[in-house]
Amino acid sequence: MASAAISRGEILYLYRSLLRTARQFCDYNIREYTKRRTIDAFRQNQNLTDSLAISAAYSDGKTQLDVAKRQAVVYSLYAPTIKSVMEAQSI
């Protein structure tokens, strides 16, 4: 399968979409994990030069975005009623 070169804009859009999806999680721990995992994965792949490797990483990112979106919906249905200690406001 011949794939067209993936533009920098498409990659940045994927990055922002993953971070936007991470903000949708109600649970602090899952929200921060998703955000941290996104940042780490993009940093790990930032020096890729081979177009096949870039396409594979982009495809994996799109798959992860789909999974994160589905999980955000599921987690919103079963959101915890008690906030995490990390989210509690100090008095």
Instruction: Return the domain boundaries, the chain.
Output: 30-89
The sign of the CA dihedral 11, 12, 15, 20 is negative
Distance spanning both ends of the chain, measured CA to CA: 58
Enter the pTM of the model: 0.83
Distances, alpha carbon 64 to alpha carbons 18, 60, 69, 74, in Å: 8, 6, 9, 15
pLDDT digits (tens), the chain, 91 positions? 445 789 999 999 999 999 999 999 988 889 999 999 999 999 999 999 999 999 999 999 999 999 999 999 998 888 777 777 777 765 4
